[in-house]
Amino acid sequence: MKILDQAILEELLAGHPWGGQLYCLAKIDSTNDWAKKLADSGAPEGTVILADRQTSGRGQKERSFHSPGGVGLYISFILRPAALPSELMHFTPMTGVAVCNAVEAVCGLRPRLKWPNDLILGGKKLGGILTELSFDGQQVSYLIVGIGININHAPSDFPAELSSIATSLAMETGIQYSRHQLAAELIREMKRVSDGMFSEKAAYLACYQKDCLNIGADMLIHRGEHPPVPVHCFGIDENGALLVTHRDGAVEQLIAGEVSIQHKTI
Ligand code: BTN
């Protein structure tokens, strides 16, 4: 098992503007938390933090993200877009497309996306995206995007409670992949996202529409203690929000929340 090596990554990224702003750590609580500390002390756009292992990897809704050493990619980016938070709703969908592009470029197979932030392969969770914002008045002062991908995990690398719902690239294909190559490709992809955050929004959302498993599916919306609400998802809007129809025909735009896919009709 090879530990993540900063020198190898820097060589793969030679000449890339973000190649000299990498922090490759052996072990950290959470790369997102470390990124926030760096951002608070002024780290520039394009600072990248990777860890071989996380001891308190975090997911959405205060869930943990299982992050064993030697097998996964746990990476966070500091971005500093000049924008209001409401102008960045499409950012996580764009990142999802970037992750799919990177996995496809290195591994030759394209994961799917389950709204809002899960990477799916073979019907199981391959990873996820955690985007966090910090504000300066009304404006965004920085954005941290953390991405976790299960790459070379064997079934025994997952705890019992994840064994039926999580997978890795190696488990789906029988092939071990280079974490360095995938990290380098993802860094290149995230630079493209950063450069095209507004100018390429429509093109990325068109890709997202194809990659997103929810579109064309019957789903349940889960809202706290309330009974799940059945809806049909028929598309996304110009910001990446899900468009759903309720049983009574009412249309709703979902900008956040938790959904489960019941049945896909197309
Ligand atoms: C989710 O599945 O809800 C999102 C998972 C995000 C995990 C990544 S791993 C790198 C970064 N650091 C964290 O603590 N979380 C994200």
What pLDDT is attached to residue 266?
A: 46
Rounded to the nearest 10 degrees, what angle do helices 91-107 and 201-211 cross at? 70
133 CB-near residues (< 8 Å, 6+ apart): 85, 88, 140, 142, 143, 144
User: How far is ligand 1, taken at its centre, from the CA of residue 251, in Å?
Assistant: 31
Element (H, E) at 154: none
User: How far is ligand 1, taken at its centre, from the CA of residue 198, in Å?
Assistant: 24
User: How far is ligand 1, taken at its centre, from the CA of residue 92, in Å?
Assistant: 13
pLDDT tens-place string over residues 86-126: 999 999 999 999 999 999 999 999 999 999 899 999 999 99
What pLDDT is attached to residue 256?
A: 85
- Reply yes or no on whether the pLDDT at 82 is more than 90: yes
Pick the residue whose CA is nearest to atom 3 on ligand 1.
59
What pLDDT is attached to residue 224?
A: 87
Read off the tokens for 179: 């974490």
**Could you tell me whether strands 112-114 and 118-121 are parallel, antiparallel, or unpaired per DSSP bridges?**
antiparallel
Which ligand 1 atom is at minimum distance from the Cα of 54? 14
Instruction: Calculate the CA dihedral of residues 226, 230, 234, 237 and round it to 10 degrees.
Output: -10
The pTM of the whole model exceeds 0.85: yes
Pick the residue whose CA is nearest to atom 11 on ligand 1.
146
